[in-house]
Structure 1
Amino acid sequence: MNTAHVSGAQQPVALVTGGNKGIGKAVVARLAEHGYLVYLASRDLARGESAAATLQGEIIPIQLDVTDPASLSRAVELIQKRSGKLDVLVNNAGLSVGNAPPSGCDLQELRATYEVNLFGVVAVTQALLPLLRAGERKTIVNLSSELGSLALHSYPDFPYDKVNLLAYNSSKTALNAFTVLLAKELRDEGFRVNSVNPGFTATDLNAFTGQRSVEQAAAVVVQYATLGPDGPTAGFFTEGGSLPW
């Protein structure tokens, strides 16, 4: 059930980008189960509304294209008017364009990937920081991937050693850098900023070849989205604990 009202100033408020399908939708569902008012953000509002209608809890679908400044401004204004704060931001929206190795990667594909996976995350986070500062929980989770780990790629026995994609992999490496640098900047304000690897999950990003369900992936994401004030920051985590950068 989708409801569009705020049930009290103390209720925690979250926003999930790319929340209309896959891992994002499962994260929305789990946060709503935890009592959050969740803004389900999607590029196509109709798809967001359809997704929200299938879920239980307080969920507000909003239109948000992370690459469109006007769309982002409208979303921020809506959240400001309805809630006046944001406790948790889950930067879930992402894409993978092409599968070329470094020597053959098309620059347009590289730019398109970075536009969403890095620049979009930076833009959304910067725009929402005032609302996050007004919130009590001050938590940011960036969905990364073990494919973004430089250390793991240096190991010859890395299970995904052959997945040598310049665009996607390096965009997640850059995202991890943003995570660490932002966490350092905001540490004294009580923020928790972490990258989370949900694991190889069956979504349309990989033609549903992943071995994990979206529910399993969402459980890891929400674990770090709902950290207490003593929780870690500036980390790279997966279901089993920390990952090397």
Structure 2
Amino acid sequence: MRVVFITGGNKGLGYEAAKQLVTKGYKVYIGSRDLVRGKETAQTIGAYAIQVDVTDEISVQKAADRLNQIEGKVDILINNAGISGGFNPPRDITVETMTAVYNTNVFGIVRMMRHFIPLLEQSAQPVVVNVSSGLGSFDMVTNPETMESKVNSLAYCSSKSAVNMLTLQYAKGLPHIQINSADPGATNTDLVGDASNNAKPASEGIIPIIRLATIDANGPTGTFENQHGTMSW
């Protein structure tokens, strides 16, 4: 049985992904900052919960240590935890806002990779999915025909561009691990809220996440995909 760990797994996209992976026969651990809420959520879908705050190095290390004790490996890591930081125009952005967004969306992935790579390397086929966004695609945000071009969010958009570059660099440096970015699109979650009139259910947003999480050994690495297939960077 393949073991999955999902950050931010107690709600939104993380919850929907966890629920679907459980139904597919995977052993799923959801990472949650609030362990009580995490356990309550996990029990409803047949998953397990581990406390983790991706902005806290010690918390991430403890989560990795706990999984090492229980499973001795992680087959699939889904870096899903993220915040928007608000959709403020660039003139209103502060260093504090940028720091908060990057601390979760970007540095959170670095912390997770730092402590989970040893667990992934115990898997016969390790996989990492970084949940990104079309708002981090230079091509999409400069194409006037896309919804992404209408959104001006300096902190969030730039953080997701950084996530995509993390994906590429990790994939290049760790060729024995399949590492890809997934764009769920605008979904009805706490992260998006009313920011988009075209938001779809989270159950649709997880399509590329699930597809990339369940690839076989011949699957891709270093790619950026949405529900329709490969995306431009």
Give yes or no for contact 1:118–1:171 (8 Å, CA) kept in 2: yes
Structure 2 residue 10 is matched with structure 1 residue 20: yes
Residues 195-234 of structure 1 mapped to structure 2, 5 A cutoff: 195-207=181-193, 211-234=199-222
Structure 2 residue 128 is matched with structure 1 residue 128: no
How many residues align structurally? 231
Residues 101-140 of structure 1 mapped to structure 2, 5 A cutoff: 101-140=89-128
Q: What's the counterpart of residue 40 of structure 1?
A: 30
Structure 2 residue 173 is matched with structure 1 residue 185: yes
Describe the SS at the equivalent of 2:180: strand
Residues 79-158 of structure 1 mapped to structure 2, 5 A cutoff: 79-158=67-146
Tell me the CA shift for residue 52 of structure 1.
0.9
Task: Structure 1: give runs of 5+ residues left out of the alignment.
Answer: 1-10
Q: What's the counterpart of residue 71 of structure 1?
A: 59
Q: What's the counterpart of residue 161 of structure 1?
A: 149
Distance 1:161 1:219, change over 3 A: closer
CA–CA distance in 2 between the matches of 1:232 and 1:77? Answer: 29
Q: Per-residue displacement from partner, 1:24-76 (whole Å, max 9, x unpaired)?
A: 001111111121111110000011011112113xx210100001111112111
Give yes or no for contact 2:141–2:150 (8 Å, CA) kept in 1: no
Give yes or no for contact 1:27–1:222 (8 Å, CA) kept in 2: yes
AA aligned opposite 1:80? N
- 143-152 or 159-168: bigger deviation: 159-168
TM-score for both structures, normalised by structure 1 = 0.91
CA–CA distance in 1 between the matches of 2:147 and 2:81? Answer: 25
Tell me the CA shift for residue 148 of structure 1.
0.3
Q: What's the counterpart of residue 236 of structure 1?
A: 224
TM-score for both structures, normalised by structure 2 = 0.96
CA–CA distance in 2 between the matches of 1:159 and 1:35? Answer: 36
Tell me the CA shift for residue 160 of structure 1.
2.6
CA–CA distance in 1 between the matches of 2:89 and 2:19? Answer: 36
Q: Per-residue displacement from partner, 1:217-241 (whole Å, max 9, x unpaired)?
A: 2232111101011111100000111
Cα RMSD over matched residues? 1.2
Give yes or no for contact 2:7–2:30 (8 Å, CA) kept in 1: yes
- 203-212 or 234-243: bigger deviation: 203-212
